[in-house]
Amino acid sequence: MLKVTLLLGILSAFYMQEYLVAALNGEASTSPNNKDRPVGPGLESIRFLLDAVQRSLLLAKTACNASEESLEKHFQGFEKIGSRYFFIEHDHEVNWWAASNICRQKGGFLATPRNLEELNQIIAKLVNKQRYWVGINNLGEDDKYVSQATGLPAYLKWGTGQPSRVYGNAAEHCVELKSEDGFYMNDKLCENKTKYICELDY
Ligand SMILES: [Ca+2]
């Protein structure tokens, strides 16, 4: 709705600016559908059009402001990291399922870093020696780690000896970022509780 209002405001302003130019050039009397408008050229005609342009621009500005407020509300709690928006929970610890639900309630998903660059940008925001759930699991097929948001294979950066599913911990189906000597990915029991990272878009 805001986009439509904004578009109408801008289109109206442009249309009337063209009409104003025509009026100044003495061509206004040739424009169609002008029964309700003064016919130019003439000072009154130009004043009328200027007022109309100002009203349209005000309408567009109002729509812009409302749109920005809506976006700010939508992004509340998220911060831009790289090219996307993420929410990092530094205090509250929950299991993977609860973390996933919280991210969905915020309008996003548990985060799945797209590549090493984005992963490093996220890691730079994390607190050392802490753990954070991300949106990756192998709940579908043992050897397929997918993004919860897209269902597609996830970018992976396993720590040494991970995923430990391979070494007998078959019940570890959910992935966290774990810090010891730098953050890396670790498969872990989904029921364990830890901090988490949400992404707004995917
Ligand atoms: Ca593990």
How do residues 134-165 score in pLDDT, each as one tens digit?
999 999 999 999 999 999 999 999 999 999 98
Q: What's the CA-to-centroid distance between 111 and ligand 1, angstroms?
A: 18
pTM equals 0.66
Q: And the tokens for 175?
A: 């992935």
Q: What's the CA-to-centroid distance between 131 and ligand 1, angstroms?
A: 12
Report the pLDDT averaged over residues 11-16.
48
For residue 11, pLDDT beyond 90: no
**Contact 153/146 with Cβ under 8 angstroms?**
yes
Q: Can you give the length of the chain in residues?
A: 202
Q: What's the CA-to-centroid distance between 119 and ligand 1, angstroms?
A: 19
Q: What's the CA-to-centroid distance between 29 and ligand 1, angstroms?
A: 79
CA separation (Å) from 91 to 87, 122, 193? 12, 17, 11
Q: What's the CA-to-centroid distance between 121 and ligand 1, angstroms?
A: 23
Q: CA 180 to CA 20: how far, in whole Å?
A: 68
Q: What's the CA-to-centroid distance between 135 and ligand 1, angstroms?
A: 15
Quick one: fold of 79-199?
Answer: Mannose-Binding Protein A; Chain A (3.10.100)
